[in-house]
Structure 1
Amino acid sequence: MISPARPPTRRIAVLLTGALALVSAATGCGAATGARPATDKVTSITALDYYTDETEHAQWGKVLTACGKTAGVRVEQTSVPGASLIPKVLQRASSRTLPDLLMLDNPDLQQIAQTGALTPLDRYGIDSGGFAKGILSAGTYKGKVYGLAPAVSTVVLFYNKDMLTEAGVAVPRTWNELKAAAAKLARPGRYGMAVDANATFEGTWQFLPFLWSNGGDERRLDTPQAAQALRLWVDLVKSGSMSKSVLNWTQADVHDQFVAGRTAMMINGPWRIPALNQDKNLHWGTAPVPVPRAGRTPITPLGGEVWTVPQNPFKARQEKAARVLACLNDRSTMRTLAEQHFTVPSRTAVAAQYAERTPSMAAFVENVEAARARTSRLGVGWPQAATGIYTAIQSALTGRQTPEEALRNGQQIATGH
């Protein structure tokens, strides 16, 4: 799942020295590697994740400890900053000195599986039944499941109930309704709608529901469907219904605008709910992301982390790690994690029960049913396409190019020519 402060995708350019030391400890390099037992008498395994937030780390520590007990091992958990994880994983993949249990942001799985550093989970007999199709796709590489996510996230439309009631506006379900509602809700000091349109993968993440729900495709950005989706955002800015500052806002900034009453609606994720719940004077609701026209199903991107079992010479350790992974993805653990983190259980039946008990998560559960993994169509080529998308968004919203021109340029970036 995505923590409140964490963007949905991470790419890095710099390694932190301190983080390197932490990862080295977790991956068992140096003397620790040689000390790993090669027999069935495995008493401990290592696990690596990026849950560095103190509360989040502690919550996951309890879950890993409990699942370790079911497997008969102690789980030694190490958490490193998200920006440090993938470089170190790639560095250690070739030497097979990865930890026994490895957590990855789901768009990164393709890149790591491509190196041959992960083991397919079918060899351990892990139950992957009942998972939503998109969720299973997020952990799949070349037809083999390499990772499973206990819970996932996506984005929905948040709205201020009081503002909509005062303005006599119904919760928008279509793009036309969204434009009309945003215009009616806008007034001095307040915009009707807010999104994150910045020049990062976060901006792409927020645009995907509009692109995909209109039949757009990241494999071919220069299409009428993609241009129509981008035109919607352009029109919202041009009409004054949405601030031009969205070009620089993060998802956290969008949240702050909403809490401060400077926007009546926003696109955001469930990791914002704990903070929203702290403001007792803020009456908010959620709804599926509006679609181009009535009858369409919103298609949103999947966020969340998958757990994997890396390759190493010690099969007994891999078996133990697989048992812990299976426990993390059982129905009971899914419910616990979803309740702790405001995420959606990955098994459809569990998610449906969760939505009944937690109404604020019902829209997320609905959107997850048709949600799509960002790597489902392009695999390891996804980051380049994502760059092309957010570049096009920036060009169109600043007025430098029309949506059509911006997306043609974005397609060139996505394909490298």
Structure 2
Amino acid sequence: MIRPEGDRSAMVNRRHAGCLPGQKRFLEEVKALRNPGQRLGVWSKLVTLPTLLSVALISCGGASNNPSSTSLNDDMTGTITVAYSTTYVFDSDDTSVIWWDKVKKEFEAAYPKAKLNLQGFNGTDVDLVNKVALEYKNPSTTPDVFMLPTGYVGQWVGSDYLLPLDSFVTDSSKAPFWKSFPKVIQDESRINGKVYAVNTGENDSAIYYNTSMLTKAGISVPWAPKNWNDLLTAARAVKKSGQNVVSFWAPAGTSAGAGGVLQGSANMVYGSSTPTIYDYKTNKWVVDSPGLRETFQFYKSVYSEGLGGSTSDLFSPKAVGRPVVLLKDHQMAIAIGSNWFADAWTEQNRHWATAAQEASAVPLPTSKGQAPGSASTLGGWAVSISKVTKHPQLSWGLIKVIQSDDNQTYIANRAGFVPPSQTVAHSDGFLNFAPPFNKAFGDTLPNSKLVPSEQEGYPAWVQGIGQATGQIATDPNTSVDAAIKILHDTVANQVGADKVETLK
């Protein structure tokens, strides 16, 4: 789906005065890099540069009004409030209303002496977080439960807004769903050893392909590439077969911002022999490594051999969504893409009724087939509990209702998510909604990794790798060394030479 984004430059300027020097520089980086166009698809919901802008805005706010501790005693009576987006998570506003009304009905049936107040907010994820952040400044207006993008959780914990949930998730009677979450999902909102939010849906990436195009090229289907050479072999065969289509979509350039990196080069880095973007041990950005060199060499192969997309598509403001259309219109054979593509093909404006018969998806393999065998970026939405709530047990009761298999299935299918629960991800209700695509993305989830979007300087790394891949797409004669230099110089110039490193 397409969600328009408003101009937030005035808000940036107003917030500068209250920021620390490093945060101010971060805001300036984001403002310089942000794409004023439209955001397409669920990936863009999760970790776009405007999203990072909102994170910075929150981190520049005043001190928390929260008390130092919260009693977990609760008589399970009274009213709790949940804050959420009415217009940004689901495919349509109608499905959002249906799901939240269903959750409210089930919650009030499970807890007859309690009421649930639904506090929905219109607008983008940026609007949602900024509006709710104002409510958190005063305990009397703070919602008990908040559904937010996982990329924000660390900032809210840093403001001392959220209640640790370990006492709930470690109790199987209170969190029967928790054991079905892969460790990477359990750890997604674990900050300094404590869990502060529970995931409600994920986005990851894999490989889409047109079955008939690969068959005509002599590639056996179902296709199961084991390494990057298998990807290139298939793409070369498609080109050689003379089908006059894009053989392999590898997102490049900066026009799509963080969304393009999430659906493209970051996946390749995570599938490389050095799957590190940010070194948490040294607190430095990796700007040269064997894995980055593998990634840039892969891009050189794609674009020097004429396998990739046109620069007009790659550098379009709508680049994130172009493969959705090109695959549907039978103009593309293979693409790195997000799980929301399949969901988009169920929508009226991009409907592809025969997608399940004409296309398929497989996990993105690692560069040489090394463990764990597949790789992907990761991002999602989660529910948290306020540290000042007077009803912690009741608030957890709401999260338990939200995490039912049925509710996970509904939000996954109608918001373009992969369910965090492996039980739900392998259920017929999810697999049969958008077959065969949902299975591939469910299988990919356990090996997915978060991008370090919470770190200051992430916009600079996004810009650097976007410029490097864009240069290769524009001039395939660009050397790997030159691409590395572009990434190094872009990041070092913006975050400081002492904040970057080379891994051997």
Would you call these one fold, judging by a TM-score over 0.5? yes
Q: State the partner residue of 2:184.
A: 134
* Alignment partners' CA distance in 2, 1:15 and 1:217: 23
Match of 1:105 among 141, 149, 158: 149
Q: Are 2:97 and 1:58 aligned?
A: yes
* Alignment partners' CA distance in 1, 2:494 and 2:163: 30
Q: State the partner residue of 2:437.
A: 360
Q: How does 1:9-408 map to 2 (within 5 A)?
A: 9-12=47-50, 41-49=77-85, 51-52=87-88, 53-69=92-108, 70-71=110-111, 72-80=114-122, 81-96=124-139, 97-124=141-168, 126-127=174-175, 128-170=178-220, 171=223, 172-186=225-239, 187=242, 189-199=244-254, 200-206=257-263, 207-214=265-272, 215-219=274-278, 220-245=286-311, 246-248=314-316, 249-276=318-345, 278-282=351-355, 283-296=358-371, 297-312=373-388, 314-316=389-391, 318-354=392-428, 359-375=436-452, 382-399=458-475, 402-408=482-488
* Alignment partners' CA distance in 2, 1:11 and 1:56: 27
SS in 2 for 1:253: helix
* Alignment partners' CA distance in 2, 1:15 and 1:134: 25
* Alignment partners' CA distance in 2, 1:43 and 1:107: 28
Deviation at 1:410, TM superposition (A): 4.6
Amino acid in the other structure paired with 1:195? A
Deviation at 1:232, TM superposition (A): 0.9
SS in 1 for 2:208: strand
Going from structure 1 to structure 2, the CA distance change for 1:360 and 1:184 (only over 3 Å counts) comes to same
* Alignment partners' CA distance in 1, 2:53 and 2:151: 20
Summarize deviations over 1:172-193 as a string: whole Å, max 9, x none: 4321121122122234741101
Going from structure 1 to structure 2, the CA distance change for 1:161 and 1:276 (only over 3 Å counts) comes to farther
Amino acid in the other structure paired with 1:155? S
Deviation at 1:323, TM superposition (A): 1.5
Going from structure 1 to structure 2, the CA distance change for 1:236 and 1:385 (only over 3 Å counts) comes to same
* Alignment partners' CA distance in 2, 1:78 and 1:347: 25
Summarize deviations over 1:160-218 as a string: whole Å, max 9, x none: 11111112124343211211221222347411011333421112212222101112311
Going from structure 1 to structure 2, the CA distance change for 1:156 and 1:414 (only over 3 Å counts) comes to farther
Q: State the partner residue of 2:25.
A: none
Residues 392 and 409 in structure 1, CA contact (< 8 A), matched pair in contact too: no
* Alignment partners' CA distance in 2, 1:138 and 1:383: 20
SS in 1 for 2:426: helix
Unaligned ranges ≥5, structure 1 = 17-37
Residues 190 and 262 in structure 1, CA contact (< 8 A), matched pair in contact too: yes
Amino acid in the other structure paired with 2:396? A
* Alignment partners' CA distance in 2, 1:247 and 1:325: 41
Deviation at 1:382, TM superposition (A): 4.7
Most deviating of 110-119 and 247-256 = 247-256
Larger strand proportion, structure 1 or 2? 2
Deviation at 1:247, TM superposition (A): 3.4
Going from structure 1 to structure 2, the CA distance change for 1:180 and 1:388 (only over 3 Å counts) comes to same
Residues 412 and 419 in structure 2, CA contact (< 8 A), matched pair in contact too: yes
Summarize deviations over 1:79-138 as a string: whole Å, max 9, x none: 332231233344444444432221111222212221111111125565233311111121
TM-score normalized with structure 1 length: 0.82
Runs of 4+ with deviation above 6 angstroms: 13-16
SS in 2 for 1:390: helix
* Alignment partners' CA distance in 1, 2:150 and 2:198: 9
* Alignment partners' CA distance in 2, 1:335 and 1:116: 32
Going from structure 1 to structure 2, the CA distance change for 1:55 and 1:375 (only over 3 Å counts) comes to farther
* Alignment partners' CA distance in 2, 1:98 and 1:10: 26
Residues 153 and 343 in structure 1, CA contact (< 8 A), matched pair in contact too: yes
Going from structure 1 to structure 2, the CA distance change for 1:225 and 1:362 (only over 3 Å counts) comes to same
Q: State the partner residue of 1:25.
A: none
Residues 121 and 128 in structure 2, CA contact (< 8 A), matched pair in contact too: no
SS in 1 for 2:41: coil
* Alignment partners' CA distance in 2, 1:251 and 1:289: 18
Q: State the partner residue of 1:29.
A: none
RMSD: 3.2
SS in 2 for 1:372: strand
Percent of aligned positions that are identical: 18
* Alignment partners' CA distance in 1, 2:190 and 2:106: 23
Residues 147 and 308 in structure 1, CA contact (< 8 A), matched pair in contact too: yes
Residues 227 and 368 in structure 2, CA contact (< 8 A), matched pair in contact too: yes
Going from structure 1 to structure 2, the CA distance change for 1:146 and 1:381 (only over 3 Å counts) comes to farther
Amino acid in the other structure paired with 2:127? S
Deviation at 1:15, TM superposition (A): 11
Going from structure 1 to structure 2, the CA distance change for 1:85 and 1:388 (only over 3 Å counts) comes to farther
Summarize deviations over 1:302-344 as a string: whole Å, max 9, x none: 23211111233x412x443221112212334323433444533
Summarize deviations over 1:358-410 as a string: whole Å, max 9, x none: 5432211111011112249x756655544443343334433477322223225
* Alignment partners' CA distance in 2, 1:322 and 1:311: 12
Q: State the partner residue of 1:20.
A: none
* Alignment partners' CA distance in 2, 1:11 and 1:325: 29
SS in 2 for 1:240: coil
Deviation at 1:159, TM superposition (A): 0.7
* Alignment partners' CA distance in 2, 1:274 and 1:130: 24
Q: State the partner residue of 2:67.
A: none
Going from structure 1 to structure 2, the CA distance change for 1:117 and 1:67 (only over 3 Å counts) comes to farther
SS in 2 for 1:221: strand
Most deviating of 47-56 and 154-163 = 47-56
